Amino acid sequence: MKSDFSKVGMELALSEAPFNTVITDSFGGSSVADMDYWGGGWIFAPDYYPTGDEIFSTGAGSNGGAYSNPTNDANTAATTTSSDVNTLYAYQDFLAKDLPVIWLPTFPAQLSMVKKTLHGWDPQDPLLQLNPETWYFTAS
């Protein structure tokens, strides 16, 4: 990687650090914008209702980029106090324009080769998990 960067005139300094140090250093500071790649993903577990309050509300525990917007805070609060689906639409439509994060796709991390008689499997699970409880075989 370092040699690839040097080919285009960029100097890359590589170092190792414990996970907590990397996260603290990546999301710390007072810059206007951060460029961090969190390849680990994020899910709404254990609350699968996609309100966004756990990740995009001001001060939320999973808001590593410190995104803060009063309109978004009001929208996410509405999604947790109302059963009207329109609150979710207002929340998603606002964030689609304000863009608190930029989605970066991950590359395929595995090559799956599976026998034709095995069914119920997902070749590229989005969380890179295996779920053998859903697998079954057929004769052909």
Express each pLDDT in 3-34 by its tens digit: 888 888 888 777 787 877 777 766 666 665 55
CA distances from 51 to 3, 18, 19, 60, 110 (A): 43, 31, 28, 12, 31
For residue range 68-99, list pLDDT tens digits in order: 999 999 999 999 899 999 999 999 999 999 98
The answer to whether residue 66 is domain-embedded is: no
Q: Are 54 and 61 in contact (CB under 8 A)?
A: yes
Residue 58 lies in a domain: no
Instruction: Give the global pTM.
Output: 0.55
32 in any annotated domain: yes
Alpha-carbon distance of 70 to 98, in angstroms, equals 12
Within a domain: residue 16? yes
Can you give the residue range of the structural domain that contains 29?
A: 1-38
Task: Kindly state whether residue 89 falls inside one of the protein's structural domains.
Answer: no
* Cβ contacts of 90 within 8 Å, gap of 6 or more: 75, 78
Asked whether residue 4 is assigned to any structural domain, the reply reads yes
For residue 135, is it within any domain? no
- Residue 71 domain-assigned? no
If one counts the domains in the chain, the total is 1
